[in-house]
Structure 1
């Protein structure tokens, strides 16, 4: 993928999502490669949840809807599952221990 400036990336995104132009038209209008314009046209989604993914079906309730949601979110996702005690709890304990009257 060719290296393009942030200004051009913003313009690609504006033309794609605000003006609704095709990748081919965007590439032609900005004088960049077709594949570069297409790569920047894809959006990312960040989802955070305290409920483990394997319990989402029960939380959602409807198996068909649960399958549809999980298929779109988890299929090509990078998953990071954190382990251990909450940082909020740890900070509360440190604050309470450091307080003296």
Structure 2
């Protein structure tokens, strides 16, 4: 009876080890594929970094003359409009960059 047990005991462990050996590389490949699919491209990353840098350097926007400003005052430095300054947004930046692409 003990001979039968010793013969059949290694079999499940072999199956477990083979499945682990196969599962690890498959998991690594799937993770790398998903990472490549959902990671932004270099161009998107570059434009996002440029956008953040631009908005940090010029954080205010005049709605009257559509220009970015570095300091927040009641009067726009460019056009002289009163109370038209607000915090610049990503949408403002995209419209600003869109002017140069056309």
What is the TM-score of this pair, normalised by structure 1?
0.21
Higher share of residues assigned strand:
2
What is the TM-score of this pair, normalised by structure 2?
0.21
Larger radius of gyration: 2
